Amino acid sequence: MPEEQNNSPARDSSLIRPYARTGGRTTARHDLRLETLLSTDEDRLYRATNDQAAMMRLCLQPRSVAEISALMKIPLGVTRVLLSDLITLNLVAVHEPSAQPNIALLERVLSGLRNL
């Protein structure tokens, strides 16, 4: 007699885990575009939790939201929520892009998106 198969959908832990980090929140408090740059300094790292510090270390040099998402290997929505928390706690600074597109930045963002 063949074994019975479980027809319930398998849970993908790689998707569940990041959203657990946001406490199930899917909406960021701040409007963060893909190209928005964030930065921090080492002094602020000491005020952060281990999870926050890992993301903040990427911001020791200005990085876009898209780059951070790709480097952390977490979905963009989760990245926005977590970065929004860091902004609210004044742990990262936001640098809105100028009206003129920065070609080097756009290439970095494109590269980050390709790595997703």
| Predicted pLDDT at 22 | 66
| Residue at 107: amino acid letter | E
**Model pLDDT, residue 19:** 64
CB 112 within 8 A of CB 104: no
Would the pLDDT of 74 be above 60?
yes
| Predicted confidence band of residue 90 (pLDDT cuts 50, 70, 90) | very high
- DSSP bridge partners of 84: none
Q: Which helix (H) or strand (E) segment is 69 a member of?
A: helix 65-72
3-state SS class at 89: coil
More reliable by pLDDT, 10 or 110: 110
User: pLDDT band at 97, cuts 50/70/90?
Assistant: low
Q: Is 37 helix (H, G, I), strand (E, B) or coil?
A: strand
Judging by beta carbons within 10 Å of its beta carbon (0-12, 13-18, 19+), is residue 12 exposed, middle or buried? Answer: exposed
